[in-house]
Amino acid sequence: MKRRDFINWVGLGLIATNLPVAIAACNSEKSTSTSATSGDWQKVGTTKDLDQKGQLLVKGSPVGDVLLVGTSQAGNLIAVDPTCTHKGCTVDWKADAKKFACPCHRAEYGTDGQVQKGPAEKPLKTYTAKIEGDAILVKG
């Protein structure tokens, strides 16, 4: 066997033996980080904060950015990711029209996050929200 062939076989053997370990490490890290945030209820605010304006914008919560709309008395909360799916601007809640609107390019979304007016084509991500005591909890 030539020296070049021997080195090629050794190199191929090293890659073949280490590849499964690298793939397993990448996959286990990814599944751990998503399961910790997507399946659990996370506290994102209090009813006092929500009742002051009828909406609450929470940046950097454990589930991501959340825009909550509603009051603690009504009990029906709307929770969406406020990032416009067109260019990434933060949408505003328009209470009089009961819709979310992007100030950058005028995209509009319904209370269910669905696109009502372009240029956005994808809906806003929605969350399940509930009130326990004075805490507002969101589940992604």
- 3-state SS class at 114: coil
According to the model, what pLDDT value does residue 137 have? 86
Count the neighbouring beta carbons within 10 Å of the beta carbon of residue 3: 7
According to the model, what pLDDT value does residue 34 have? 42
Confirm if 87 and 105 have CB atoms less than 8 A apart: yes
User: Strand ranges (DSSP E) for the chain?
Assistant: 41-46, 55-61, 64-69, 78-80, 92-94, 99-101, 108-109, 115-117, 126-132, 135-139
According to the model, what pLDDT value does residue 39 have? 62
The four Cα atoms 37, 126, 48, 44 give a dihedral, to 10 degrees, of 10
Burial of 58 (0-12, 13-18, 19+ CB in 10 A): buried
Low-confidence ranges of the chain (pLDDT < 50): 29-38
According to the model, what pLDDT value does residue 33 have? 40
According to the model, what pLDDT value does residue 29 have? 46
According to the model, what pLDDT value does residue 75 have? 64
Confirm if 38 and 125 have CB atoms less than 8 A apart: no
According to the model, what pLDDT value does residue 31 have? 40
